[in-house]
Structure 1
Amino acid sequence: MKIGLFGFGKAGKAVASVILQSKDHSLQWIYRKTNRLTTRDAADFLGIESDDPGYFYSDKKMSVEALLKEHPVDAIIDFSSKEGIYMYGESAAENEIKIISAISHYSDKEVGFLHKLAQKATVFWSPNITLGINYLLYAAQFLKKIAPSVDIEIIEEHFKDKQGISGTAIRIADVLDVKDEKINTIRAGGIVGKHEVIFGFPFQTVRLIHESISRDAFGNGALFAAEHLINKKPGFYKFEDLLHPYFKV
């Protein structure tokens, strides 16, 4: 699968690294707002041996429409910002390019726009695109069904400079139908990301824990999504839609 990438921050770099090392997928380009790095390719910048083009393009020199026409891809993976979808969404949908968004925080406006694009394109959105955290979400929902009155507390830990409550923690609270007040936040050092769901029973406790050791986990999750969307028809998909078949007994 030929892939284009939006966003080249810490997570974007990790995702690019994983794609460049994949034998089944090819990183065609990275689209950025800055002119920096346009004379280099991603493999060179990251010090990875790869035959992927991985070229950097800037909106200062090339429009998204021109980029998709001259360098077509099968899927776009987005690790940029919540505004990024407006930059490429319409063009991607018109060209039947699959959209894989890993943006943590979208407003109702952006989510509505994703659903609009999903009328023409295959659109996938996951606030946390790691496979492990989405397995945790799925398993937690099953446990909540078994014991709907159980006490639930959520603990999220991240690096000290991360602002606000993690989008993943809010997502966990939403799917388990608990108030945001049940989310406990820890900011310390360089913690990549850790989420724990505590189920408190009268005589026992169950803890589901997911910890990201490396941001490369985002890349693995993004490729998992890409591979499972290959034959999907246009529509709006979440991670649980991809995991559901694996939970059938």
Structure 2
Amino acid sequence: MKILLIGYGAMNQRVARLAEEKGHEIVGVIEDSPKDSTPYQQYEHIADAKDADVAIDFSNPNLLFPLLEESFKLPLVIATTGEKEKLVEKLEDLGKNMPVFFSANMSYGIHALTKILEAAVPLLQDFDIELTEAHHNKKVDAPSGTLVKLYDVIEGLREKTTPVYDRHDKSEKRTPDEIGIHAVRGGTIVGEHDVLFAGTDETITISHKAQSKDIFANGAIGAAEQLIHKDKGFYTFDNL
């Protein structure tokens, strides 16, 4: 499989290393600005990488969105977080002409966590829910795209939900519809996501802790390996 990388930060550098270990080839890179240190052919446009079988994106909205407006026809694996609603709308439109895969978190374990939530939330309607995520001190967006995804699952399963991001200015008791959303930044934490169900005299916590960023890179490579054999369409872990 011949791969074009969109972005060449820490994550796509892992993708390159792991993909080559699996026998795949990196045919080029698109970056915000060309760098002499990049060990691959550098392109400005997706369509320029004519030998590529698929593009894997771990970049940012500023780089990705202009590229998606160009004319091309290449399977896409997209892992950029931020501006999710706008991004998904664009990817669904592109899926009318090519296979496109999107996940805010490329870990299959996180996908499994969402499935566990789909079973747990209806069973625990009388429990308060608090969502917490923790990441390294270099991560710039908060809350994480994954935590937003977990909230979306809960929102779809409860009659009413209200996200609460900060309680310092609230001086009233918690209401049943509130979903607390908390972000922690520090050290080199790869990624931790906790869902707390708090009931009367008991709590249940569902957790996922990433021990290496390789899980995200391998998840993207695995998605690409399947996507190149798919017909046009918009894909997630639910239908790949």
TM range (shorter): 0.7 to 0.9
2:49 to 43, 68, 82: 68
1:150 to 112, 115, 127: 127
SS of the residue aligned with 2:194? Answer: strand
SS of the residue aligned with 2:41? Answer: strand
Contact 2:15–2:217 under 8 Å retained in 1? yes
CA offsets, 1:107-138, max 9 Å, x none? 53333221211110111111111222121112
Equivalent-residue separation in structure 1 for 2:54 and 2:126 (angstroms): 42
How much has 1:88 moved relative to structure 2? 4.9
**Pairs aligned (count):** 218
How much has 1:21 moved relative to structure 2? 1.4
2:200 aligns with: 202
1:77 to 56, 59, 70: 56
Structure-1-length-normalised TM-score = 0.78
User: What does residue range 79-228 of structure 1 map to in structure 2 within 5 Å?
Assistant: 79-83=58-62, 84-88=64-68, 90-93=70-73, 97-163=74-140, 164-177=142-155, 178-181=161-164, 182-202=180-200, 204-228=202-226
Q: 1:172 to 1:217 in 2, by over 3 A?
A: same
How much has 1:92 moved relative to structure 2? 3.4
Equivalent-residue separation in structure 2 for 1:159 and 1:103 (angstroms): 17
Q: Which runs of 4+ in 1 moved over 4 A?
A: none
SS of the residue aligned with 2:119? Answer: helix
How much has 1:78 moved relative to structure 2? 0.7
**Identity across the alignment (%):** 32
SS of the residue aligned with 2:90? Answer: helix
Equivalent-residue separation in structure 1 for 2:224 and 2:191 (angstroms): 23
What is the aligned-residue RMSD (CA, Å)?
Answer: 2.2
Equivalent-residue separation in structure 1 for 2:135 and 2:102 (angstroms): 22
Residue type at the aligned position of 2:108: L
Structure-2-length-normalised TM-score = 0.81
Q: 1:145 to 1:241 in 2, by over 3 A?
A: farther
Residue type at the aligned position of 2:31: R
Contact 1:34–1:58 under 8 Å retained in 2? no
How much has 1:15 moved relative to structure 2? 1.9
Equivalent-residue separation in structure 2 for 1:231 and 1:176 (angstroms): 32
Q: 1:198 to 1:228 in 2, by over 3 A?
A: farther
Q: 1:56 to 1:32 in 2, by over 3 A?
A: farther
Residue type at the aligned position of 1:184: H
Higher helix share: 1
Contact 1:156–1:193 under 8 Å retained in 2? yes
1:245 aligns with: none
Larger RCO (CA within 8 A; separation ≥ 6): 2
Residue type at the aligned position of 1:179: T
1:56 aligns with: 41
Equivalent-residue separation in structure 2 for 1:222 and 1:89 (angstroms): 22
Unmatched tracts of structure 2, length 5 or more: 156-160, 165-179
2:16 aligns with: 16
Q: 1:208 to 1:227 in 2, by over 3 A?
A: farther
Contact 2:43–2:49 under 8 Å retained in 1? no
2:25 aligns with: 26
